[in-house]
Each structure stands twice: as C-alpha cells, then as structure tokens.
Amino acid sequence: MSAVPLRLSDAERRPMAATAPRSVTILGATGSIGSSTIDLLRRERDRFRVEALTAHGNVQLLVQLAREFGARFAGVADEARYAELKDALAGTGIAVGAGEAAMIEAAERPADWVMAAMSGAAGLKPALAAAERGAVIALANKECLVCAGDVFMRRAAQAGARVLPVDSEHNALFQALSAGRGEEVVRVILTASGGPFRTWTREAIERATPEEALRHPNWTMGRKITIDSATMMNKGLEIIEAHHLFGFAGDRIDVLVHPQSIVHGLVEYADRSVIAQMGSPDMRTPIAHCLAWPERIAGPAASLDLARLGQLTFEAPDPERFPALRLARQALDAGGALQTVFNAANEIAVAAFLDHRLAFGGIARLVEATMAAFARQAGTGTPATADEALAVDHTARKMAAALLPQIAVKAS
C-alpha cells in the first residue's frame, strides 16, 4: 500500500517563492472547491500562473476565469458547449477543448500543481493523468480514490507524483501526522458534523426532502457532497479515502461526530498524545495548505476564536439512523471492487434522490442492495487498472439503476 509520506525531508522544504511562479491547473474550476481555489489565486497573483481550467457545462464562468487569469487552456466536459466556448475565447490565444479528452488534456499539460476538484468518479481519469506525469496533485475528488484507490495511489507513487489531501479531515490528518512516525500511530480520527439530520428521528430522516438535505449547518459545498454529508455517506467515503491516502487499516480509522466542525482530524500516538488540527470551517484553509505546500501562505478564513465559541462537543455516530459508515466499512473490508460499487451506487442514489425518485432513507438501502447484488454476481476482486475499475463502476451503476424501482417503492 502506498501512503503519503508522513514527514518532509529538508530538501522538500525549499521556499516556493525562490523559483518562477508555480503553474497551476484546476479541474472543476467552476465548482465550490474550484471557486475557493480561485479566490486564493486572486490573493496571490505573483506566486501562481494558471495553465488550464475545466468545467462541466458552466461555460460563462469558465470563460470569465480563463480570461481573468490568462489561462493557456480551457476545457468543457459537455461537448454540446464546445462551440460556445470556442467562440467566446476566439482571438485570446487560449486553447480550448471539449469532452473527456479535454479534461485529460488539461491534466496532462505541464502545470506543477493540479487541483482535482471535479465531482464523482468522472474525475478519476483526469486525476490519474496528472498523477502519471508526476505532478503535485491537490486531491479534493474523494470519489476517485474510492472508485480506484489502489490503482491511483500505486500509479502516483510509481510516477513520483505527490498527492496532497484537500478534504478538510484528511488535510488535518496530513498535518497532524507530521508530529510522529507512521508506526507510532495508534489510530486516526475523522470528525463529522453529523449534517442537518444529526438530531432527527429515524422516521423523519426517512422522509427528508432534497431541500432539507441540501441545508448543511456548517459548510457550503456542491450538491452531491452536501447530500453525502446528510446521509453520512461522505464520512463513509472518507474512511476509504483515508485508508488509501495514509495506508491505515479500517480498524485504525475512527469517526467522531463534532457538530461545530472546528476540530477536523486527530491522530493518536502510542504514548497517548492526541494531535488535532483545528480551524474555522472554511475550505480555503486546507486548499491554501496544499497550494503553498511545503510552505504556508496567508489564509483568508476567519481566525479561530475559541473563547467566543465557548464549547466544542463530540458524540459517537449513530449506526441505526446513519447506516452509511457500516456500509463503507463493509466495502473497505471486502476489498477493491466493492469500494468501487459503494461509490457508484451512491452516485446513482444521490442523483435519484435529488430528482425526487428515491426517498432519503432509500439512498443507503440502494447502496446496500447494489453491493449485495454485485458480490453475488461478480465477486469482489480488486480492479488492477483504471479501466477495470471504471468497468466495475459502469456495471454497478446499471445494477443500481435496475434495483432503483423496487427500493423506491419500498420507501414510499
């Protein structure tokens, strides 16, 4: 298992400003993480140069950003929007592209640093393309690790790429892990806000609407991850993400509900010291850490005022009302393919829920039913390549779609 090295050598601590501006590419520049990254770039114009930017369909914002930063390439995933992109950037000297090939081209262009912030398993191939040319990859797109974590981390290590965790909990662990050595770690702890339904009854959660689920108490994020936070599938994905990033077995990755989202992650060492990373809930903090790594730049988040907050509270997750963690651990224990299935079925379930075709409680049921059906029919071997993982992903999506009507009926 390849893992993020826990400590930096002195050679890696060279000042980033000593050389030319760091060139950066943002995959998913128009999204929530993309916008936070752009905000940081605006504050540090001399330190960074933009190589490539991508979006799925938001051509208007993509064009605006590409012009503002003088990007060398802009790519839109939705091929139907190609002409619009091409026309809007005509005469600027900015190269354009469309479709999956353009996402991969953006990743392959020679930026020092790539933010992988597309959402879903669609982000796997572009992120892998950046890894395979040995880039520094700020990885927000956790689904790509859950879909094909073994392949991704192996290829990144082989190519000498450096994977930096953007996800706030994993970024916290990355920082806290520099206080000791890997073999001295007893366990790592991911915190979870508990989402909007933390105090709701099981019956109320079962019937929650998309509007209710999209109202996250602490974080403003894209729609998919906001629903994942409400089901706690996000924390399930994050257990698997932590396993692939740091190499810890599932029984050494704990989850702690912490409604204020101030403590993001904790590492317990053999001597029982627990090192935690804290900060206001603002993704610009972990992104800034990755952007400047191994140095630090000024972050725009609110300074943490613990006296004003008064108290921080913690509780154990409730497996009855939130079955997502159990399903994630089951997928992790079973090995590669079921992790891919877990992610794929969840993507189908979230889309169906947002589309009012599935009850909120049906999301976990559909994921569980798809995992069971896949294990019965296709086994659980670990995909050896990205294409194998994507083939499993494709099969699992079809199975989830086929199971959807019966799960949806049971729920109503």
By beta-carbon proximity to Mg ion, the closer residue of 141 and 370 is 141
Residues numbered 135-194 forming contacts with Mg ion, rule: CB under 5 A:
167-169
243 binds, among Mg ion, ligand NDP, none (CB under 5 to 8 A by kind): none
- Residue 164 region by backbone torsions, left for phi larger than 0, else alpha for psi between -120 and 50, else beta: beta
3-class secondary structure, 128: helix
282 contributes a contact to Mg ion by CB under 5 A: no
Per-residue burial over 237-272, b = 16 or more CB atoms within 10 Å of its CB, e = otherwise: bbbbbbbbbbebebebbbbbbbbbbbbbbbbbbeee
Separation CA 383–CA 151 (nearest Å) = 8
By beta-carbon proximity to Mg ion, the closer residue of 281 and 383 is 281
| Three-point CA angle 27, 160, 143, nearest 5° | 40
219 binds, among Mg ion, ligand NDP, none (CB under 5 to 8 A by kind): ligand NDP
Of the residues 51, 105, 108, 143, which one makes contact with ligand NDP according to CB under 6 A: 143
Separation CA 232–CA 350 (nearest Å) = 12
* Cα–chain center distance at 370: 22
324 contributes a contact to ligand NDP by CB under 6 A: no
56-64, 146-154, 267-275, 374-382 -> range binding ligand NDP (CB under 6 A): 56-64
By beta-carbon proximity to ligand NDP, the closer residue of 66 and 369 is 66
Find tokens 């050595």 and name the residue: 181
By beta-carbon proximity to ligand NDP, the closer residue of 114 and 408 is 114
10-18, 53-61, 240-248, 334-342 -> range binding ligand NDP (CB under 6 A): 53-61
Q: Which of 410, 360, 354 has the alpha carbon at shortest distance from 206?
A: 360
Residues numbered 248-287 forming contacts with ligand NDP, rule: CB under 6 A:
283
Structural tokens at position 200: 């709701």
Smallest distance, Å, CB 229 to Mg ion?
Answer: 8
By beta-carbon proximity to ligand NDP, the closer residue of 23 and 346 is 346
Binding mask 62-91 for ligand NDP (x = CB under 6 A): ---------------x--------------
Helix, strand, coil proportions of the chain in percent (round to 5)? 55, 15, 35
Q: Which residues bind Mg ion (CB under 5 A)?
A: 167-169
Task: Give the interface with ligand NDP as residue ranges (CB under 6 A).
Answer: 28-34, 55-58, 77, 103, 117-120, 122, 140-143, 167, 219, 221-222, 225, 283
